[in-house]
Structures are given as C-alpha cells and as structure tokens.
Structure 1
Amino acid sequence: MTKPYPLQFQPEFKERVWGGRALEQFGWDIPEGVIGEGWMIADHPNGTTAVIGGELDGMGLDQLREKFGRDWFGTKGVSETNGRFPLLIKLLDCNDDLSVQVHPTDSYSGLPQGELGKTEMWYVLDAKPGAKIIYGLKEGVTRETLAAAIHENRIMDELQEVPVQAGDTFYIPAGTVHALCAGVLVAEIQQNSDTTYRLYDYDRLGLDGKPRELHIEDSLNVIAYEGAGATTMKTDGLAAGEWLELARSPYFVVEKGIVQQAWKLSTTPDSFTILVVADGEGTLSWDGDSTPLKGGQCFLLPANLGGYTLDGNCTVIRSYLP
C-alpha cells in the first residue's frame, strides 16, 4: 500500500508569444523559446503533469486520480463535471502584454465538450517598476458601448488599468475582462480549464506568424458588465504563522502564510492542499520524512497525508477546495 506523501510534478512548459525566460530563475530546465506558462499541477487534455520522485515517480496526475481517487484527493477532490482534478496551477512569465481576454462560467452554452468555465486568481511574485494589469471595465460600459469600441478600434479606452507590485493579489471570477501586462510574474490558481476568449491582441502575430484568433461574440456574451465580484488586495505586513485569505470562490480558497519557524499544520479528509512557494527557502516535513522548499516549487499534499510541518524562511500560498 502506497503511503501518501507530498507530490511535486514535472511542469508542462508552454511557449507563448508574450513569454520570456524568467521561469529559469526557479531552477527549472525550460525549453528553448519564449516560455510564458509553466503548468505546475495539471490534469487536462492540453497538459498533464507527472510526479517527480518517490514511489510514484513518473505517474501522471490523471493516473493518480484514477488510482487513489477520493482517498488521496478528498471527498470534494474530483470534478463532478468531467471527473478530472478540479484545479490547474500555473506560473506565468509575462515578458510582453497578454491579450485582453475574458473567461466563461460553467453554464455558458458555447463551452467545448467536457470543458469547465474559468474562475482564477493571481498572486504577483514579481513586478518590474511601472508594471500594470488590465482589470475590469470602466464604470458604465455596456455590451453595446464595448461592441462599438471594438468596432472602432478603441477598446483600450473602455478598460481599467491597475499598477501592480510583488505581493498584490487579484481574484478574477469568470466574466471579468482582464490582461496581465509586460514585466509581471505571477502564480495562478484556477479552475481546471483552458478556455479563453480574446477581445483584443494588439494586432499581434502568433508564433506561427499569423494573426491570433479573436473571439468577439463569445467574449461579449460572457462578460459580466455589472461586475462579477472581482477583488484585489495588498498582502504586505502579514505576521508569521498566520493565514491571510486572498480569495474564496465556489472552486477554491487561497491563503498566504509567512514561515519563520516550525509551523505545524494538517490536511483534512475533504480536500487536497496545494502549496506554492512564492519566495525564500525552508523545509516541508511529514511522518518522519522531509523535503527542501524553495521559491517556484509547487506541491500537492494528499488529503490523507495528515500532519505536516513547514519550517525555514519562506512565503507560501496555500490552496484547497471550499
């Protein structure tokens, strides 16, 4: 019988026209090219990660789910819609501006077969001076006024720009217009979905040299013009050994913690726990065993792991199912 242990995965790296090489700083051997996304914990047809180390080395997250089910992933830990792992964890290197985009809800009729909607949140790991994001529509924008602005090539006049710094967090419910911009490195916790509708892409060519596809009608259909409940917050000043809630949705709860000495914690039977190490170094210990921690690492702790201890000097982002 396999004893549960913290699982780390070999990321699936994705080349993106807006990507760069910043993910190398975390010690990952990333492929050539402009790498925009590291899918750190993934169970999706477009990318599935495999375990690094331990008895389950090389096993895909999809295989783990099939083998261990709710014992390891929790009573809530498998999607009722498509049977997959319910979350997707990414690191994003935004060397250039991303497209202006929006994601659908689970109920949108235009979703591909078996795909979920996409509510997500960002924790800013690093931001260059002057970095910003696009975060929502300006007040009073309607479907009609936005459609007119798109037709007249002045969509940027209708969008809110927000300056960002390391430690900022953004909750982005489905229906929220948004775009990460150049000079930002983020950790993203999201529903397990790869559906994005692009409103605007700066007339940019894709990696294939062709204009990237836009999805104007789908975007106009799914935007929450009165707001979907997006929230943002600063997270500096947090005391060590306390959890600060960054986002709570029907799909995930995300918290930030500062580790400065031994911090005893435990998983619960209803959900796995995901730890993203935002910065620093430390140790993760459990059941007489341990592994070192460093910035950029992501761990999946099985629901039946039980007690574990974080130690060292590091910042951790913790996610679990509500």
Structure 2
Amino acid sequence: MARDKTRPAPRGVLVQDPCLVRTVWGAARVAAARGLEGTVGTSWEVSRHPHGESSVAEGPWAGVGLDAVLIADPEGCLGGHAMVRGAFLDAAEPLSVQVHPQEAYALAHEGDHGKTETWYVVDAEPGATIVAGTSAGSVEELETAVAGGALDGLLVRVPVEAGDLVHVPAGTLHALGAGVLAAELGNDSDVTYRFYDYGRMDGEGNPRELHVGQGLAVVDPSSRPEVTACGTSLGEGVAASVSADGYEAFVLDVPEDLVWDFGGRPAALMVVAGSGRASWDGGAARLASLSGAFVPAATGEVRLTGPMRLFCATGM
C-alpha cells in the first residue's frame, strides 16, 4: 500500500488515544486519570491489534488507527522489526489464572502471535501479590489439580510493590493480583487461556469461559515469572531491562533533559511516573501521566524532558 501523500511520513513520538475495556475485575485509577467515572480494567495504549486498537491522538495523523498508520508506511514505522504492544492493567480484583501460548502454537491454532509480556508495577496496595507460576512438577499433576478443583494449592504467589519489573514468558502460569496497577509491554498478540476464574460471571450473568485444554497444551509448569526491583541505574538513565522473544523492555528514568535514540526500531512508551515532553526533528508532544505513545523506527533521536519514568519496549 502506498503511503498517504496528503500527510507527512509518521515520525516522532505519536501519543495514542487508547482503547478502554471495562472488565469485571477493573479498578478506577486509569479511568480517573482520563476524567472518566467507573472502572477500566484494560487500557490498550499502544496497539495495532484488532481486539483493541489505539489511534493517534494529535498531529497530522490524529484520529487514524495505529494499524492504518503502520500499513501506510511499514518500512518507516517498523523498519523490518516486530511490532510491540503496550497496555495498562488496573485490577481491583485478581485476574484469572492464565497462560499465553508460544509463537508456533498460536500461529497454528489461533491465527495470532505467541505472547510473552513484561509488567512494570505502577502501584500496588499493601500486601498485593501476583501468581508467579506453579509448584506442580508436571502437566499431568496440574491437570489433575484443575479437574479436582485443587489448583489454588499449587499456585506460587509472590508479593509485589511499585517499581517492580515482572517478566512473564509464554507458557508461564500467572495472574495479576488485586490492588495492582501495571503497565504491560509485549508481543503483538491477544491470546489468553484461562485455567481458573474464581467462578466469576460475565456481563450477561454467565460463567466466564475457561480454556483448560488449550492451556494444558502450552503450559510449562517449571516456568516462573522473574521479579526484579528497579534500582541502581544501568547507565544513561536505564533502571532495569529485559531481553525477550521479539522485543527488549527497559525502564528509563528521565531527569530534566535526556536525548535518546531507539536504534532504528519501533518503540512503545508508557509514562509510569511523573510527566514531561518529547521533541524531535519536526515536532513535539506532551507526555502525560499514565499515557502511551508509539515511536516509528525511522524517527531518530528524541529529546525527553522530565522528570518522569518511562517503561519502554523496542521491537526486535
């Protein structure tokens, strides 16, 4: 598809209007940040996925869905690298105990990508935990526990607090706990298999669907999410980093002024503390608290002004 010549090439820090999803487990923090009443569970901040597409909030591409932007200039936006996805998850209640598939299984059975993800804990109530794997020694043990209603006894729960980084490889049994607000970056996918959902009902009063068979086909009982605290800088403002399948995620502390180059890769930015501005050759944008932005691969250097903390991922 030829690029739309009525607009300049998409470059810079493209702040997004998110796709907001009100879930049965959602809380009010993300909604309040946008001046909305009620609760929002998932806010798809940087996404081309059809299940929750974001759109450009301002500038010459304002109002255009992110997928259309990428289709209009695939080389400039992606540069031959993978797309990365960003969302906020705001949990008043625990999310379902779930697992995401690996790439080969997802492509063969779902027509979607596999899903590895990394969370940054933006806020956590005292005593908040996550499900971080299982003590089961085999898939068969896990299957027996699910069938017998004894899964809870095999779940590994670990405490989390604001500033923690949690890496969840595909195939890992996991769940975000009650009271946690997390920023999530990961593969361009939306495939989730639920093992257990606390008997909750959907909006029509029906039990939410479980996917035990698919989950057992992809789960790795030995896999544990990695939880690390952001602390000593790794250089140039980087407080923590994770290399994953298809992307690299890192936490970037921005003081009053920092020049950053994403290395010719597409990037998703999530503002997880403070607020600031971004400027580049040809434009500037305000970065509000709890907002997300997409940076096309061909953008080049970006000048960031804080103080703020960014949770970022670049496609591999």
Alignment deviations for residues 63-116 of structure 1 (CA, whole Å, 9 cap, x no partner): 111111112222214xxxxxxxx3221001101111100011111178544211
CA distance in structure 2 between the partners assigned to 1:259 and 1:110 by the alignment: 38
Q: How does 1:1-322 map to 2 (within 5 A)?
A: 2-3=8-9, 4-26=11-33, 28-30=34-36, 33-77=38-82, 86-108=83-105, 112-138=109-135, 140-227=136-223, 230-238=225-233, 241-269=236-264, 271-287=265-281, 289-322=283-316
Structure with a larger share of its residues in strand:
1
Q: Residues 66 and 110 from structure 1, CA distance in 2 versus in 1: closer, same or farther, beyond 3 angstroms?
A: closer
Greater relative CO (CA pairs within 8 A, separation 6+): 2
Change (3 A) 1:48 1:112: farther
**Contact persistence 1:240–1:259 (CA under 8 A):** no
Aligned alpha-carbon RMSD (Å): 1.9
Distance 1:110 1:318 in 2: 26
Matched residues in 2 for 1:267 and 1:219: separation? 35
Q: 1:262 to 1:37 in 2, by over 3 A?
A: same
Mark the runs of 5 or more structure 1 residues left unpaired by the alignment.
78-85
- Looking at structure 2, the residues matched to 188 and 213 of structure 1 have their Cα atoms a distance apart, in angstroms, of 23
**Residue 29 of structure 1: how far off its partner (Å):** 4.3
8 A Cα contact 1:284 1:292, kept in partner: yes
Distance in 2 between residues matched to 1:103 and 1:58, nearest whole Å: 31
Preserved CA contact (<8 Å) 1:256 1:316: yes
Q: Once structures 1 and 2 are overlaid, which stretch shifts more, 101-110 or 251-260?
A: 101-110
Contact 2:31-2:39 at 8 Å conserved across structures: no
Q: What's the secondary structure of 1:195's corresponding residue? A: coil
Q: Quick check: 32-41 or 277-286, which moved more?
A: 32-41
Q: Report the AA paired with residue 89 of structure 1.
A: G
- CA 1:236–1:245 in 2, change beyond 3 Å: closer, same or farther? closer
Contact conserved, 2:130 with 2:157, CA < 8 A, in 1?
yes
CA distance in 2, matches of 1:154, 1:113: 28
What is the TM-score of this pair, normalised by structure 1? 0.90
Structure 1 contact 267–302 (Cα < 8 Å) conserved? no
Segments of structure 2 that go 5 or more residues without pairing to the other structure are none
Contact 2:117–2:184 at 8 Å: present in 1 too? yes
Hey, what's the Cα distance between the residues in 2 that align with 1:135 and 1:289? Answer: 42
1:141 deviation in Å?
2.4
C-alpha displacement at 1:240, in angstroms? 8.0
Give, in whole Å, the separation in 2 of the partners of 1:42 and 1:21: 22
Retained in 2: the 8 A contact 1:100–1:198? yes
